[in-house]
Structure 1
Amino acid sequence: MLDLEVVPERSLGNEQWEFALGMPLAQAISILQKHCRIIKNVQVLYSEQVRCSPSNQNTNQPVQVLFICRNNIDFTVIEVYDLSKVKLKYCGVHFNSQAIAPTIEQIDQSFGATHPGVYNAAEQLFHLNFRGLSFSFQLDSWNEAPKYEPNFALGLASLQIPHGAMVKRMHIYTGNNLQETKAPAMPLACFFGNIYAECVDVLRDRAGPLGLKLRLLTAGCGPGVMADAKVRSLERSIFFGDSCQDVLGALGSPHKVFYKSEDKMKIHSPSPHKQVPSKCNDYFFNYFTLGVDILFDSTSHLVKKFVLHTNYPGHYNFNIYHRCDFKIPLVIKKEGAESQTEECVLTTYSKWDQIQELLGHPMEKPVVLHRSSSANNTNPFGSTFCFGLQRMIFEVMQNNHIASVTLYGAPRTTGQARPESRSSSH
């Protein structure tokens, strides 16, 4: 049985590992894999609704903890929904174990007084809320809703609740309101010396994309650094035609360098049979924590492509990349007015039907992309569809979400200045 420490507004864990609010899902899965001999039963559930709960999943699997992640795939809420299978303590003192039942009297003794609770008739649950922590008591065996005197709401003693009422669920979150809580900033302990992208702005002119401006977050690590640890923010820009040295100087070393063994999209070029095979392969710099891939030409070693990953569940590459929170500005001509234009921004959360309304429907049919590994030719998530518009390729999932956006640009000629150093701004 797991023995876990509860820290309101922060985490659930022990001396070996910790699940923290704001932690990327990939790190939590890494913890589960590392401690698979102790945490033996894990079930991953996905719902496109804002919130999912085991109660509506019709599952009898022996899992005890639910991590609720919203738009950013970072932990927003940690829910313990079967307290009989875990030991829980607060400030080093157990309030739930095989010998200690999590009754309302025990919660009062462990956590102290709080505001009067709220009864939800639809759920038949009584919710008792502390800052960053709430307990839900099962009331289906009661004959009536709990009664308390509002004028005497000085703590749990003022609530007329039957003796021995048991906690059914526990939630850890930030703030005072579970329904309105948001994922906090990623904790310092989750950086592990990596650099993350807070947001990525696509730089462009009227012809198409020029490059990326990244707002980066990093935290110091190593001897003597954690004593004064804090998150630092910095901005870096990279453009089509930048060299490997330019990119390494701006973003640091990639997590992986991937050499393309073949170009599966070559068949869609005007004359694929006339293209002379290269003796060298183009290669990607994979920045997993940025959610960005950068493709270099094998001959010139200059940037020729950017790939931005949204990391939506249900995609073949899910959980490999951190979500790239990108913004792509568009200038759209209004119908019937040649000189009038309308500005709008595409984001990571834009859906394909919304993008088509802005950019128009592609003239050509989509390219069907079916991913599979060499070890396993089956892809449980199905194919995706690639549409090309305005020097951008949108990879669309079957649920209408964007899986990735590939940006193409005209390479700079030799001696041509980088866009950031030109007199005109974009």
Structure 2
Amino acid sequence: MLFSQLDVDIRPGNGLGIFKLGASLWSVLDLLRTHKHSFPQVDVQYDPDASTTPVILHIKPHFDLLFSGAHQRLHTITARRLRDPNPPLTLRYRGNILSSPDKDLRRVNVNLAFGPTYPGEDLRYPGVRFCFDDEGLRDKAKEHEDRSQEVVRLLITQTEPSGGEIDALSEVTVSPIMYGELAEAIAKVHDGVVLRFYPTSSPPVHVRLGVTTAQDLLSDLGPPLRTFYKEDDRMAIHARSHSEDDSPEPSYFYNYFQHGIDFLLSDHTHIVKKIILHSNVPGTPLFQRYKRCPWQIEGRPEDDEDDTPPRVKFDERADRISHFLNPRETPPSMLYDRTDDEEMLTLPNSTTRLLGFDGIILEATQSAQVVSVTLF
């Protein structure tokens, strides 16, 4: 089999090749789909019982991408197996070749390209680290004498203001690649959702149920990635009142996959009727269809002077959110399997529970991860 050679540039604190630190899991997986010829093998690793643990993309054989647990942002890029010829890999820094099929990457090459740094087992610079074979580091006295030590992997991360490395389990710091993307979505029952974007100094967008129009959405959020006319009316049977002569009102969705949000609008008035916020939980049927929406549900303030009303977030368990919405009792749940029409699809969290409250519905996995919130 013939492989196309990978030729990537190292950008300390910023990225490697087409990958940029701070990019979302949704956008990186979408990017990989457009580069299947260069990256034909991608494995996704995650904890199926937790929605906010880090996600790792193994792009065989050279790259590992670590995404932060809560906001699913690219945190660390690892390049390894630098000499694996399937496909051949060339690493560059500022236009100069550091490593290629004909040139091994060794300690002396790193020193020449990046200059001096503090002593240690690895060569560490702001935003990039070069690691060597552990066998070659047993004799610490000779650590800096072996100029021919071969680099076995390198890591690229953001840098702290002090120059140190960011903790592997922390969230990424805000970077320009995140500008224009959703920073938080504050859901208010019987009202709508307040959307704040990066940079957070930009004015928020308030989408209100029964008030905001399709034109408002186009003006504030731009055109949706897809407009979809609603055909699934199976939930209509659970309506509080209906007759045989009733027919569902024609309606359509504005799908903002890049924000993790759907808006259902009336086909007659073109006003928002429902808002759906998606959590992009790995292992569920809608994983990767939507970017993770960093939603919060806001409760009622304790009094008129309370300017910090209580909230629950997307990373909390369904029972905790259920108690927040109704401390007195937990509503009965309905089972929903999004894979009923997909006989060949098997997922660890295909069946979810729908928990209905006044003005809001939670969709949760059997392990109590909330995969979506619907406001109506």
Indicate the TM-score class for this superposition, using the shorter chain for normalisation: 0.7 to 0.9
Which residue of 311, 316, 319 corresponds with 1:353? 319
The answer to which of 37-46 and 4-13 deviates more is 37-46
Contact 2:339 2:350 in 1 (8 A): no
Contact 1:311 1:318 in 2 (8 A): yes
Which secondary structure state, in structure 2, belongs to the residue aligned with residue 84 of structure 1? coil
Q: Show the 5 A alignment for 1:17-416.
A: 18-47=18-47, 50=53, 62-70=60-68, 71-85=70-84, 86-117=89-120, 126-140=121-135, 144-147=138-141, 159-175=143-159, 176-179=164-167, 182-185=171-174, 187-188=176-177, 195-203=180-188, 208-217=189-198, 233-242=202-211, 243-270=213-240, 274=244, 276-278=246-248, 281-331=250-300, 343-358=309-324, 359-360=326-327, 362-372=329-339, 378-380=345-347, 381-408=349-376
Match of 2:15 in 1: 11
Higher relative contact order, chain-length normalized (CA < 8 Å, sep 6+): 2
Which secondary structure state, in structure 2, belongs to the residue aligned with residue 94 of structure 1? strand
Structure 2 CA distance for partners of 1:212 and 1:31, relative to 1, 3 Å: closer
- Cα deviation code 1:182-206 (max 9, x no counterpart): 4243544x77xxx532222224xxx
Contact 1:293 1:306 in 2 (8 A): yes
Which secondary structure state, in structure 2, belongs to the residue aligned with residue 107 of structure 1? helix
Contact 2:71 2:171 in 1 (8 A): no
Deviation of the 1:272 alpha carbon: 5.6
> How far, CA to CA, are the matches of 1:129 and 1:288 in structure 2?
38
Instruction: State how many pairs are aligned.
Output: 352
Structure 2 CA distance for partners of 1:367 and 1:50, relative to 1, 3 Å: closer
> How far, CA to CA, are the matches of 1:140 and 1:5 in structure 2?
28
Match of 1:336 in 2: none
Deviation of the 1:212 alpha carbon: 1.7
> How far, CA to CA, are the matches of 1:146 and 1:249 in structure 2?
62
> How far, CA to CA, are the matches of 2:245 and 2:136 in structure 1?
75
> How far, CA to CA, are the matches of 2:258 and 2:175 in structure 1?
12
Match of 1:418 in 2: none
> Segments of 4+ in structure 1 off by > 4 A?
48-54, 373-377
Structure 2 CA distance for partners of 1:139 and 1:375, relative to 1, 3 Å: closer
> How far, CA to CA, are the matches of 1:353 and 1:363 in structure 2?
8
Structure 1: stretches of 5+ with no match in the other structure: 118-125, 149-158, 219-230, 334-341, 409-426
Structure 2: stretches of 5+ with no match in the other structure: 303-307
Q: Cα RMSD (Å) of the superposition?
A: 3.1
Q: Does 1:2 align with 2:1?
A: no
For normalisation by structure 1, the TM-score amounts to 0.73
Deviation of the 1:79 alpha carbon: 0.9
